[in-house]
Amino acid sequence: MQTKRILSAFAFTLLTIFLLLVVASRSGEAAKAEEYHNVDADIGQAMPEPTPHGVMPGGKEENDPKDAEKPDIDITSWEYILAGPSNNIGKYTPYVVAIEDTAQYFDERAITPLVNFLNAARDAGFTPYIQTAYRSYSSQEYLLNGRASQIAWPEYPTAEDYAEAEKYVAPPGESDHQTGLGVDITDRYYGSLDANQMNQEFLVWLREHCAEYGFILRYPAAKESITGRNEPYHFRYVGVEAATYIMEHNLCLEQFKALYQ
> Tell me: the pLDDT tens digits for 155-174?
999 999 999 999 999 999 99
Strand partners, 186: 129
- The pLDDT of residue 140 is 98
Percent of the residues in the chain that have a pLDDT greater than 90, as a whole number: 69
- The pLDDT of residue 57 is 43
The one-letter amino acid code at 129 reads Y
Residue 196's pLDDT band, with cuts at 50, 70 and 90, is confident
Identify whether the C-beta of residue 222 lies closer than 8 Å to the C-beta of residue 50.
Answer: yes
Identify whether the C-beta of residue 242 lies closer than 8 Å to the C-beta of residue 80.
Answer: yes
- The pLDDT of residue 199 is 86
98 or 198, which is more confident: 98
Strand partners, 184: 132, 234
Examine the pLDDT at 209 and tell me if it is beyond 60: yes
- The pLDDT of residue 198 is 82
- The pLDDT of residue 191 is 67
**Residue 141 known to be catalytic:** no
Q: Outline where DSSP puts E strands in the chain.
A: 96-98, 105-107, 128-132, 182-187, 215-219, 231-237
107 or 2, which is more confident: 107
Examine the pLDDT at 238 and tell me if it is beyond 90: yes
In the set 100, 141, 231, 248, the catalytic residue is 231
Question: 3-state DSSP call for residue 35?
Answer: helix
Q: Which residues, 6 or more positions from 131, have their beta carbon under 8 angstroms from its beta carbon?
A: 184, 185, 186, 191, 193, 233
Q: Determine the straight-line distance between the first and last CA of the chain, rounded to whole angstroms.
A: 96
pTM of the model: 0.75
Helix (H) or strand (E) holding 134: none
C-alpha span between 149 and 170 (Å, rounded): 15
Distances (CA, A) of 147 to 122, 164, 196, 210: 35, 9, 23, 32
Kindly report the backbone phi and psi dihedral angles of residue 12, in degrees, each rounded to the nearest multiple of 5, phi listed first.
Answer: -60, -40
58 or 35, which is more confident: 58
Mean pLDDT value across the chain: 81
C-alpha span between 39 and 186 (Å, rounded): 20
